[in-house]
Amino acid sequence: MKSPFRTQLPGGWPDEAPARSILFSLPPYGCSGEDRESLGSYICRLSDAQDIPRGALASRIVGPVARELFGADPRRLAQDIGRADYAASVSSQTEEANHWAYALNSLTLRNNLQLCTLLPLRNLVSPLKLMSSDRQFCPYCYKEDEQLGRSRYDRLLWSIKAVVACPLHRARLVKRLEQKRDATLPDDADTLLAQGKLSEVASMLPASEYEIESARLIAELLDDAVFFSGLRYESSAQSTFLVHAIDSLFAGKSAQFAVHLGVGKSQVHGWVKGKVRMSLPRLALTAYCCNCAIADILLGNRVLLSQRAAPECQDRRLLQAGGTGAKRPKDELRSELGEMIRAGATRSAAEAAKAVGISVKFFRKEFPSEHAAAVQQGRDLATALRDEARATYDQLYLAEHLSLQKAGIYPARRRVVSRMRGMVKTLGRHQDAQRAQLKAHAATGVRLATRGRRPSGGPGSQQQENRV
């Protein structure tokens, strides 16, 4: 791939002089899946090194090359870089990341910048929920950067949603939120972060064995994906591995395998039949519980496996709901459920099922009348809560409507609603405001202004408008 910028050597240079890059040929930091720099971080460093703002770098230098190579719109690239989450999008597995990586390769005369994105996983792993929506970092990695005298850089691994720990430092990643602070951090962590006391923050967040191991497995996959480039996801390979695992670990009993992983039987069935593609978190869980690499599952390798207990994962969605309640006598469960319903203490059937430690499916099947009652109670409660919330909203609307009216200002809906800001949990949907407005106008007799027209009639209405 040739760029128009590079074909000419400065006058007087020998013809056989090696090609010169347009931009500094900065090597990306890191050499493995665990510590490789993300492309977003690389672009940031490159623009600093060149002393060019990121926007200008995108629109004037990278954009024209991307247009030449891919027919990409240079304005589009400049827009990408202007977004708050640009670092995540240029490091992802999308076409956009592809344009960035190869245009920068051409400009820096490098050939490996695509490894700073998730492009190597593009054909292997489902893109669903692959990228993390939060920016996260390992405080120890940053500390190490400082000690080595280099600028802090973001690792590609941190941009993956399923990764919550640093495999190198065995520490939990800290979420960096643009607006609000990380809810998982203790109260004094903000001050410590601001003071640069990174390891103190990290010690507040111990990572579980599973979190560390799954991050390591995913880092390993990033390396394997480079090695097996050109490989594509095939449901038959996934099936081959799972059949092998079920045969060798559980004598062909897939239900036992599902229990071992802590996932539903039907889900395992879907995977084995090749109807459902395993997501990255499930691949990591399965590789962890079978003591193998994620690539082994994707390639259908019949490797030697051993059992490792599923983690007591904090992610509830990863483990099947329910509990040990199903083993208890049914009469006992029935009376407990009945009592809860009579007391009106259930907000939904799911909550009632959870309280006695059974799954919703078991609840519905074994105790149909109690289930129906719990569902109805949940609905009634939701209706009551909604009515109550509406009444409060309307009351508040009326109060603000009246105070505007008293001040001689026409109580337009926009004005009333903006005065309610901070007084209600949400400002409600359009319909809520409309309903409250109609009620308030009916109650006070103020004529409703129609769109584009001032309310006519009513003494001094014109004056009232002018005062606003």
Distance between start and end Cα atoms, the chain:
63
Q: How far is the CB of 202 from Zn ion (least distance, A)?
A: 8
Per CB under 5 A, residues contacting Zn ion are 138, 140-141, 166, 168-169
CA-nearest of 128, 125, 122 to 98 is 122
Q: How far is the CB of 166 from Zn ion (least distance, A)?
A: 3
Nearest-approach distance from CB 41 to Zn ion, in angstroms: 14
Nearer to Zn ion, 81 or 168 (CB): 168
Shortest distance, position 208 Cβ to Zn ion, whole Å: 16
Amino acid identity, position 297: I
Judged by beta carbon, residue 169 or residue 354, the one nearer Zn ion is: 169
Q: How far apart are CA 113 and CA 105, in angstroms?
A: 6
Min separation Cβ 149 and Zn ion, Å: 17
Q: In this complex, which beta carbon is closest to Zn ion, that of residue 110 or of residue 169?
A: 169
Q: Which of 61/189 has CB closer to Zn ion?
A: 189
In the complex with Zn ion, the residue whose CB is nearer, 124 or 141, is 141
215 or 373: CB nearest Zn ion: 215
39: which 2 tokens?
């492309």
For Zn ion, the closer of residues 154 and 394 by Cβ is: 154
Cβ at position 26, least distance to Zn ion in Å: 22
Closest by CA position to 414, among listed 437, 444, 395: 437
Cβ neighbourhood burial of 178 (10 Å; 0-12, 13-18, 19+): exposed
Give the nearer residue to Zn ion in terms of CB position, either 86 or 158: 158
Least separation in angstroms between residue 125's CB and Zn ion is 23
Minimum CB distance to Zn ion, residue 185 (Å): 17
Cβ distance to Zn ion smaller for residue 33 or 74 = 33
Q: How far is the CB of 147 from Zn ion (least distance, A)?
A: 12
Nearer to Zn ion among residue 175 and residue 244 (C-beta): 175
From the CB of 182, what's the least distance to Zn ion, in Å? 17
